[in-house]
Each structure stands twice: as C-alpha cells, then as structure tokens.
C-alpha cells in the first residue's frame, strides 16, 4: 500500500532567529554586532525562502519577553528595525513581497509603529510572497487578546472564528518552523498556530544559517509525513 503523502514544499515557513548574541560572543564582539549580522542574514534568507517557492515567511525578531532585556540592547535593536524599514521596504516592493508585522506595536517606540504602517501600506500590492515580521510578539498575548475580544462579543466562537481574531488572520498556519541557536523550545512564538507545524531545530547560530542549511531543512520537511492525528 502507498505510504502517506509526504509533505513536499511548505507553503509557510516560520523562523525563530536565535543565537545572534552567542555568535557575537564567540567572536569577542558586542551583542549588537550579532544582531546586525542576524539582520543581514535574515534579509537574504527570506529572499532565498521565496526563491524556493514558499508563499509565506514569518520571522520571530523580538518577543514580548525580549522587551525586558537591558535598555542598551533594546535601543540597538530598535535602531536596527528603523534601518531595516528605511532600506528594505523599497526592495520588497520591487520583488512584489507583501510586508506584514505581527505583535503589539504599542510596546515599541512610536516611530517604529509608523514605519511599520508605512511599510505595510507601500507593499500592499505584493503578490509574490508575504514576509511576516513578528516584533513585540507573544503567542500567549496573541491568544489572550483574541479571548478577550470573543468575550466582548458575548458568545462562544468556533476554531475558525478564533483564528480570525489572532494577529495571523489571513495567513495559513506555519507548515515548517525552523529554530536556530541550539535551544529546543518555542519561546512563546505561534502557540495556537503551530498545533500541527513540523519543527526543525539546529545548533547553527542564526547569522551562520546559510541558504544550504535552509535547503537541508526544506529537504527534511519534504520527507515528513503529516498525519494530523489520522493513520
Ligand atoms: C535572537 O538572538 C534575537 C533576539 C531575540 C532579539 P539572541 O539575542 O537571543 O541571541 P542569544 O540567544 O543570546 O545568542
Ligand atoms: C526567542 O529567542 C525569541 C526570538 C528569537 C525573537 P530568545 O533568545 O528570546 O529565547 P529564550 O529566552 O532562549 O527562550
Ligand atoms: Mg536567544
């Protein structure tokens, strides 16, 4: 009898970009240098993801918990985000990539919220792929906000209605989640959305995660059998 259908190419790849600080430490560089290297890698890696035919690429760039990091590190990260929007939105427009940001922007400096809105607006015609940046994002906070909205509506909601109350409404659920940087955990990323996501963990620190390693992860995914509880 034929085996279960294998997974093939994921439609949505989510990436937890972890290990930037350790990458810098190994080189006796400040953590900020690791974040810069990580941002540069993120830009070319997301291009590689779309080149392979993936429709949606979500990158976890800052969690709600990361907002408790020292002020100096946060300042550096916010500057990097500003730089990212200033330099990359035009590139995304040219490549017909739609930009979407998920997370609680009210936790970030106001001007970042404005850059996000402008970036989303400028790229809104993009139909070749969707790049989702998770900034100030927390899975529990995402779920809780949806629960509270459902409560305000004053009635029970279905799974579909609940999904539509999350930041990720309009997006397919992630098929493949890649986490770099050795840790074997989800760190409050897409908790509801990753119920049936395939996980791929690697020790490689994010700035060292090459396109070849992406291909290795995609190959591993392609061979997975997704059963969704069936046999
Ligand atoms: C991931 O790298 C980027 C962010 C969480 C902002 P880290 O900063 O967590 O790097 P490590 O884990 O300390 O090496
Ligand atoms: C996860 O990395 C969050 C992001 C990559 C944005 P962390 O470095 O914050 O995760 P923990 O603290 O090791 O779980
Ligand atoms: Mg980390």
Q: What is the pLDDT of residues 7-30, one digit of tens each?
A: 999 999 999 999 999 999 999 999
Quote the pTM value: 0.97
Which segments of 52-193 does DSSP mark as H helices, in order? 71-94, 110-122, 139-153, 159-163
Nearest ligand, measured from the Cα of 206: 1
Closest atom, ligand 2, to C-alpha of 16: 5
Both tokens of residue 32?
Answer: 């900020």
Q: Is the CB of 183 under 6 A from ligand 2?
A: yes
Q: How confident is the model at residue 120 (pLDDT cuts 50, 70, 90)?
A: very high
Confidence of residue 150 (pLDDT cuts 50, 70, 90): very high
Residues 20, 40, 66, 215: which is the catalytic one? 66
Q: Which ligand is nearest to the CA of 65?
A: 2
Q: Which residues contact 18 (CB under 8 A, 6 or more apart)?
A: 179, 180, 181, 182, 183, 187, 205, 206
Residue minimizing CA distance to atom 5 of ligand 1:
62
Of ligand 1's listed atoms, the one at least distance from the Cα of 62 is: 6
CA distances from residue 227 to 7, 38, 173, 193 in whole angstroms, order as listed: 10, 34, 15, 17
Quickly state the pLDDT bin for 3 (edges 50, 70, 90). Answer: low
Model confidence at 5, pLDDT cuts 50, 70, 90, reads: confident
CA distance 50 to 58: 11
């Amino acid at each position: 009898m034929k085996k279960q259908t294998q997974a093939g190419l994921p439609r949505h790849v989510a990436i937890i970009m972890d290990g930037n600080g350790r990458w810098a430490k190994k080189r006796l560089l400040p953590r900020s240098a690791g974040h810069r290297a990580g941002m540069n890698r993120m830009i070319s890696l997301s291009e590689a993801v779309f080149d392979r035919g993936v429709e949606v690429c979500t990158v976890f760039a800052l969690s709600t918990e990361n907002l408790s990091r020292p002020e100096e590190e946060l300042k550096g990260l916010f500057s990097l985000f500003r730089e990212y929007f200033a330099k990359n939105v035009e590139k995304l427009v040219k490549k017909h990539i739609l930009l979407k940001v998920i997370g609680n922007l009210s936790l970030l400096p106001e001007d970042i919220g404005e850059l996000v809105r402008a970036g989303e607006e400028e790229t809104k015609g993009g139909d070749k792929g969707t790049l989702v940046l998770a900034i100030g994002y927390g899975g529990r906070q995402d779920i809780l906000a949806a629960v509270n909205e459902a409560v305000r509506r004053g009635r029970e909601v279905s799974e579909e209605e609940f999904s539509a109350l999350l930041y990720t409404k309009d997006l397919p659920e992630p098929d493949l989640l890649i986490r770099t940087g050795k840790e074997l955990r989800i760190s409050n990323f897409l908790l509801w959305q990753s119920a049936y996501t395939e996980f791929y963990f690697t020790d490689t620190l994010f700035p060292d995660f090459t396109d070849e390693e992406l291909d290795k992860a995609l190959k591993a995914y392609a061979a997975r059998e997704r059963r969704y509880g069936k046999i």
